[in-house]
Amino acid sequence: MKIVDVKLQLAEIPLEEPFHSTWNPANPETTLFVSLVEVITDDGIHGYGAACDSSQLLAGIWESHIRPLLIGKDISEVEAINTGLVNASLYAFRPWCVEVAVWDALGKYAKLPIYKMLGGAKSRVLAYASTGELKSPEERVQDAQRFIEEGFTMMKLRAHHDDPFEDVRIISEIKKKVGDRIKIAVDANQGWFFSGNRVVAKWDIKKAIKVARALEEIGIEWLEEPLYGYDFEGLAELRKSTSLNIAGGELNAQVHEYRELLKHGCFDIYQMDVVLSGGFLQNRKVAAMVEAENKIYTPHTWTHGMGLAAALHMAGAVSNCPFIEYCYDPPHWNYTVRDLMLTEPLAVEKDGYINVPDKPGLGVEVNHELLDRYTVLRK
């Protein structure tokens, strides 16, 4: 089961309609960026992993760090490969899609889906509709009605105004109109920002406490990323100041950072990302650390179909993951757009649950014909 080759394919797939995100409103997204990693073993197994990387940083260290790390390794040596990727991450932005490709190959060799190799806690997970586009309050009420009809029991809205209390007012109006028919979570997206492009004012601890208490009165499920992701003391103070659940962690990386988050008591809900933050191996370790503190682990995902597939396998592997993010904001970000790189989209069932892919490995098929059409670089 030796790795004999590892390939990188970068594709830029044009979107039919631009997506105006709340987290980077100055730059509408017109392209789906895909960095596809392919791991090939000596017995002909092909494993795949993918990330969204428009910077081509991964390509820059491919020959110097990635190929030497993987070539000749047994695909079962995931711990060694993951450790090597920690070192590689010093030079390139979060190369964890490489580890995902190794797990895909390992699952195909074992003839098991990844979630069963990591624990196999459940084969279906409750999905919540995670929105992300700039829309009017009236449109959001219509979205909530649509989500209810489609079987969702929870949705996530984004706070994006300069004055966060304008967001509170809008969310309150939406909550009044939908009542208890669907739960609402709120993402402040304050864990990171685009330098020079961010139009949303940064929150400080005083503002975050006021907003959290206002949302608490409305009956929101959780407030996500209300402060910078490394403000351990601020997040801990905020959590002590409200009964509202505080969530975050999508851009924190590796077990040591999560040790600090847990030690300070920063969150009620920990949202590590398989593709952005440590791969399957470190997510599995963090999920256990979170479980030991009687908290919720649920993988963050906002990339594309393969990123969602990876998150689904992590959610299915562990017992302390009651729901999963399902990035879905029709019409410009529906599952057919998000999953362009797959031959079949990952759809939610009528009861609001989504099935974890049950074929070996990731259990999804790459749309090679589409990616080949829009490939800009190969390694």
pLDDT digits (tens, 9 = 90+) for 12-41: 999 999 999 888 888 889 999 999 999 999
Residue 192 scores a pLDDT above 90: no
86-113 residue pLDDT tens: 999 888 778 999 999 999 999 999 999 9
Question: Are the C-beta atoms of 276 and 300 separated by less than 8 Å?
Answer: yes
Phi, psi of 375 (to 5 degrees): -70, 135
Kindly indicate the confidence band of residue 55, based on its pLDDT and cuts at 50, 70 and 90: low
Q: Which residue has the higher pLDDT, 189 or 129?
A: 129
- pLDDT grade for 54, boundaries at 50, 70 and 90: low
Question: 190, 213 in Cβ contact below 8 A?
Answer: no
**Banded model confidence at residue 196, pLDDT cuts 50, 70, 90:** very low
- Predicted confidence at residue 202, as pLDDT, reads 81
The full set of domain ranges for the chain reads: 3-111+365-378, 116-355
Task: Look at residue 333 and tell me whether its pLDDT is greater than 50.
Answer: yes
Cα-based angle 260, 317, 112 (whole degrees, multiple of 5): 135
In tens, the pLDDT along 56-78 reads 888 999 999 999 999 999 999 99
Query: Which contacts (CB < 8 Å, 24+ apart) does range 76-79 have?
Result: 76/1, 76/106, 78/102, 78/103, 78/106, 78/280, 78/281, 79/281
Rounded Cα distance, 49 and 35, in Å: 8
State residue 201's pLDDT score: 52
- What is the end-to-end Cα distance of the chain in Å, rounded? 22
Taking each helix axis from N to C terminus, what angle separates 205-218 and 164-178, rounded to the nearest 10 degrees?
10
φ/ψ of 289, rounded to 5, equals -65, -40
Correct CATH for 116-355 of 1.10.10.10, 3.20.20.120, 3.20.20.370, 3.40.50.360: 3.20.20.120
Structure confidence by residue, pLDDT tens digits, 270-300: 999 999 999 999 999 999 999 999 999 999 9
The domain covering 3-111+365-378 belongs, at the CATH homologous superfamily level, to: Enolase-like, N-terminal domain (3.30.390.10)
